[in-house]
Structures are given as structure tokens and as C-alpha cells.
Amino acid sequence: MAHILAIHSFRGGTGKSNLTANLAASLALKGKRVAVFDTDLASPGVHVLFGFSPAAGQSTLNDHLQGEAPIVDCAHDVTPEQVKQAHGRIWLVPASMDSNRIARLLREGYQVEKLNDALFALSEKLNLDVVLIDTHPGINEETLLSTAITDCLLMVMRPDTQDYLGTAVAIEVAERLDVPAIRMVVNKLPEHFDQEQVRERVASSYDVPIGALLPLSDDLLTLASGGLAVLTYPTHPWSERVRALADNLLDTVL
Amino acid sequence: MVSVDLDSLPSGPLSMTALVSLEPAPLRRLLKSGLRRGMASSDLASLLADDWQCSLDSPEAQALLAALQERGWLGRDGDLWKTKLG
């Protein structure tokens, strides 16, 4: 059965989707069969990283959660050429970008249990190794479900006081749900910040292992979500640390 | 057997928000274990033994499962016990 990896943040703008997409690529570069679920249904975005946009007639996660589309029809192969050469595969289950569909979902909601079943049905159907869930920031029914069913929760934050406070709330919830493994990821770390001080503050705030400290990067800003940094800038420190995080996750929890 | 006042459990469909706020912790763990693919009876028996210090066929365990089933929170799905979210 596939391992579930939920990538979550308490606040928006942490780079969660960017990290999700690049982690997916890093795992697939190791030959893994990976799916990415965009459960940020109110403000989807991870599809952009894969250069994917649903064409007319192509199903999205919304079509499964609020309709009858089989989940396998909502999974689209977005494997980049470099990943194919490494014998990995990536499927994306995108959320709809149609404003009417987003509004309908927010208005009518859906059975969150259907999301649970979809994750496991797709993992069996595609013989997946890892399912990554790109969550909506904050706490709602979907993020609580993702937290409850994950094998490892990656909590993404910036070195910002509001993020420190909000992340504490999310971790408290995760601990109530007995999440088997939690890793902290500090993203967008300015160059002039003392990494050791940040590491100590995170360690003393949460008593949770640190998965990675990822630098604020002009190169990533230039890429502007137009691609995957681990493929476009493979030797960049940000990319190297994301790949190291993927390796560590494979060694310890996946 | 872990003490839980079954009559004090809220009625109505189970949401994730409600699951997180349930006490005691073994009750949250039981319902969490019914997510994902669900759990086989042997898994449920192990969980009850480890977490609740009772056997699956004990009157206490049967009363607990009946209370959860009555609320529609836990049900059988083929051979598996599954947590039902409303």
C-alpha cells in the first residue's frame, strides 16, 4: 500500500505547493510511482508547477468529489522526461480552476470520506509508492482528514512569528491525531538569518524533527512556479536540500 | 477497560472536527484507525486489547462498538470496520 505524505502549513504563502511538486519529482527521480492530490480546493495551484492545465473534458478532483467521475480518470500523467529516464512516474490529481466549480464546492461542500477512499483507491489502481497531499492552509475538514490518514506530516513554515504561533496549533492537532511522523520544513529562509538559531528556535518550539531549512531563493522567484526547481536548477542549494529531504523521508518514514 | 461515558458522546454525524475533540484519546485512536482502508476485525481486536485493555467479545467492547454504530460513526464495510464521516 502507498505511503501517504501530507504537506501542510497553517498559513498561506509558505511555498507548500512548490515544495510538494519538487518533492514529488525528487521521489520519482528515485524511481518511485507518485501521485499528487491537490486538496487546496479553494485556491488550487500545484498544477502550474507541472505545466498542466485541465483541457475540456479532462476530469479534476472536483468531478470525483462532487460528481461521478472515477478517481482514476482524474489522475493525469505529468511525468517530466528526466523523471521518465529515471523510471519514475508522477500523476497529478488537480483541483478545478473553474471559478464556478470552486464556488460550487465552497457552497455545497462534499463528503470528506470520499476523499479518503479516493486516495486509497487510486494508490491501488496505479500501484503507487507515495501519495502526496497538497493541503489547504489552516485547519478545516480536509486538512484534518489528511492529517489523520498521513504516514508523515510535513509542516511548512516561514521564519515568521505568525507562522511560529500558527504552526504550534497545527502540530497540537496532529499530536491529538497520533500522526506517526512529523517533520518541520522552514522555507524562504533569508540568507542573513542564522540557520543554527532558527534550528534551535524550531526545535525548542515544537519538539519535532526538522526535515529541512530551505533558503529564500531569487532563482525560485525568477522561475515563478513555471517549472520544477529540482529539474531546472538541480545544483541549487534549495533543490539539493529538497532532494536530501526526499532521501531522508525514504530512509526513515516512507 | 478505559472508562468512557457512552451516553455523553454527541449524537449526529461524525465530522473530523468532532473526532479531534473527542475524549479519551483511545476513542480518537479507534475512530482514526477506521479511516484509510478501514481495519480488519483482528486489527480492531488488537487495538482494543492494547488501548482499551479489553477483548473484542467482552460486554464492554460490544457496548462501545454498539454506541459508535448507533451514531453511524463506525460500520462494517465487507470484512472491514470503517469510520463513517458525515
- Three cell numbers, residue A63: 468531478
pTM as predicted:
0.94
Tell me what ipTM this predicted complex has.
Answer: 0.92
Segment A77-105, tens digit of pLDDT: 999 999 999 999 999 999 999 999 999 99
* A136 neighbors A41 (Cβ within 8 angstroms): yes
Query: Residues of A with CB below 8 A from B20's CB?
Result: 144, 173, 176-177
Q: Taking 90 as the threshold, does the pLDDT of residue A146 lie above it?
A: yes
CATH, range A3-252: 3.40.50.300
* A242 neighbors A212 (Cβ within 8 angstroms): yes
Alpha helices by DSSP H, chain A = 16-28, 46-49, 61-65, 81-85, 99-108, 112-125, 141-149, 161-176, 195-206, 218-223, 229-232, 237-252
CA-based nearest residue to A31, from A108, A90, A92: A90
Q: Helix, strand, or coil here: A35?
A: strand
Confidence label for A154 from pLDDT (cuts 50, 70 and 90): very high
Q: What pairing do the DSSP bridges indicate for beta strands A182-189 and A3-8?
A: unpaired
Domains along chain B with CATH numbers: 14-83 (1.10.10)
A171 CA to centre of own chain: 17
- What separation in angstroms does the CA of A81 have from each of A78, A151, A175? 9, 29, 39
Segment A179-229, tens digit of pLDDT: 999 999 999 999 999 999 999 999 999 999 999 999 998 888 787 778 899
Distance from the Cα of B35 to chain A's closest Cα (Å) equals 7
Distance from the Cα of B65 to chain A's closest Cα (Å) equals 20
Torsion angle, alpha carbons of A58, A228, A215, A219, to 10: -120
Segment B32-56, tens digit of pLDDT: 999 999 999 999 999 999 999 999 9
Query: Residues of A with CB below 8 A from B32's CB?
Result: 148, 177-178
